[in-house]
Amino acid sequence: MSLDKRPESMERISTPELAEAFIEEQVKAIRAQVGSSKVLLALSGGVDSSVCAALLIRAIGQNLVAVHVNHGLLRKGEPEQVIEVFRNQMNANLIYVDAVDRFLNKLAGVSDPEQKRKIIGKEFIDVFAEEALKQEGIRFLAQGTIYPDILESADGIKAHHNVGGLPPELDFELVEPVKFLYKDEVRAVGKALGLPDGMVYRQPFPGPGLGVRCVGAITRDRLEAVRESDAILREEFAAAGLQGKVWQYFTVVPDLKSTGIRDNKRTWDWPVILRAVNSVDATSATIEEIPYALLGKITNRILAEVKGVNRVLYDLSPKPVATIEWE
Ligand code: XMP
């Protein structure tokens, strides 16, 4: 049997009991693999790395060294949630790295989307490697690889590397406790491990984060407009019961201004574009039919609460021809 093939005998984890059994089995397997060594993990706060972290905390406690890098492109409240859940509630050995200035300085003036992605990816590896080199006695690197990652890289659809590209002196042995799980199973295990619903049922969020939603060269003020408008959209979707029902929803702020009027004065401000799509595997997407009253409420809140914005638009373009993200 290939090391990267899900055993055919493995039952789909669809109940809390099966999730508990999986956790028990993995805790034993992790302990057998790593013994009393320390394990490093890049904890983004996404579903896969969070479930992986919670499993490792259950298995080896303080010997897990979880590193959360705040690259300044996270959504409102995300770094705070990672600290609250993992450091305060689960008593994890969590290293929080505030790398906001470092990332934003490197990204200043860069408008090409692929270049932005490359800078974010490389800087992430550099920051993570620096933290890893500060730690002593680390022999293992845990990754929240899941089964679709393995299948997609086998099919050549995408190169799967969670923290690929680490320098050679950081030649760790991998620990990948959820690598045979499908997304729904990862969520079932996360729930059984006591992670909050907001983390377990989170919508997909790209690695480059809000960086690809602040179209063109990122500026701090426009990034703030993306973050604040995204927070309003998520809050209103949650209040309307759409959280967990709509596949992915977010806001985009293009590098474009138009005329408006506020307090009898002419303004020259950005538009916020709302995007809400449904999809199965992100290769195609349809548009969520948001009720007009909800669109109106979100629009009014964004115009009242977000600085530098004078219009709100709804993107009606399916994938294809558009992509889900704007960059
Ligand atoms: P597109 O925009 O290509 O997005 O229709 C499809 C799905 O992939 C996500 N996405 C990314 N995820 N790194 C990621 O980890 C990226 O660079 C990236 N670009 C897009 C997107 O959010 C959607 O779910």
pLDDT at 156: 73
Where does residue 239 fall: left (phi above 0), alpha (psi -120 to 50 degrees), or beta otherwise?
Answer: alpha
Residue 163 has pLDDT above 70, yes or no: no
For ligand 1, is residue 323 a contact (CB within 6 Å)? yes
* C-beta of residue 43 within 8 angstroms of C-beta of residue 94: yes
Instruction: Tell me which residue has tokens 């969070």.
Output: 50
pLDDT, tens digit, 9 for 90 and up, residues 208-267: 999 999 999 999 999 999 999 999 999 999 999 999 899 999 999 999 999 999 999 999
For ligand 1, is residue 15 a contact (CB within 6 Å)? no
Instruction: Tell me which residue has tokens 């490359």.
Output: 118
- Band the pLDDT of 63: cuts 50, 70, 90: very high
CA distance 252 to 315: 10
Which atom, in ligand 1's list, is nearest to the CA of 248?
A: 24
pLDDT at 126: 96
Nearest CA residue ID for atom 14, ligand 1: 206
* pLDDT: which is higher, 169 or 60: 60
Instruction: Tell me which residue has tokens 């969670």.
Output: 162
* C-beta of residue 152 within 8 angstroms of C-beta of residue 135: no
CA distance 188 to 180: 14
CA distance 258 to 267: 8
Nearest CA residue ID for atom 12, ligand 1: 206
For ligand 1, is residue 152 a contact (CB within 6 Å)? no
Residues in the chain: 327
Beta-bridge mates of residue 276: 249
Give all domains of the chain, ordered by start, each with its CATH number. Answer: 16-200 (3.40.50.620), 209-314 (3.30.300.10)
Q: Is the dihedral of CA 38, 39, 42, 47 positive or negative?
A: negative
Give the Å distance between the CA of 286 and the centre of ligand 1: 15
For ligand 1, is residue 319 a contact (CB within 6 Å)? yes
pLDDT at 171: 87
Q: Write out the E strands in 168-242.
A: 173-175
Nearest CA residue ID for atom 18, ligand 1: 206
Give the Å distance between the CA of 34 and the centre of ligand 1: 33
pLDDT, tens digit, 9 for 90 and up, residues 284-322: 999 999 999 999 999 999 999 999 999 999 999 999 999
Q: Is 38 exposed, middle or buried (0-12, 13-18, 19+ CB in 10 A)?
A: middle
* C-beta of residue 262 within 8 angstroms of C-beta of residue 304: no
Q: Which of 183, 165, 150 is nearest to 118 (CA)?
A: 165
* C-beta of residue 190 within 8 angstroms of C-beta of residue 91: no
Residue 2 has pLDDT above 70, yes or no: no
Give the Å distance between the CA of 25 and the centre of ligand 1: 33
pLDDT at 3: 78
Percent of the chain with pLDDT over 90: 91
Please enumerate in sequence order all residues whose Cβ is within 8 A of that of 294, keeping only pairs 6 or more positions apart, or say none.
Answer: 236, 240
Q: How distant is the alpha carbon of residue 266 from its chain centre?
A: 38
The amino acid that residue 13 corresponds to is I
Which atom, in ligand 1's list, is nearest to the CA of 205?
A: 22
Residue 159 has pLDDT above 70, yes or no: no
pLDDT, tens digit, 9 for 90 and up, residues 119-132: 999 999 999 999 99
pLDDT at 263: 96
For ligand 1, is residue 161 a contact (CB within 6 Å)? no
pLDDT, tens digit, 9 for 90 and up, residues 14-55: 999 999 999 999 999 999 999 999 999 999 999 999 999 999
* C-beta of residue 76 within 8 angstroms of C-beta of residue 48: no
**pTM, whole model, 2 decimals?**
0.94
157-191 burial, b at 16+ Cβ within 10 Å, e below that, comes to eeebebbeebeeeeebeebbbbbbbbeebbbbbbb
The tokens of 312 are what?
A: 């709100």
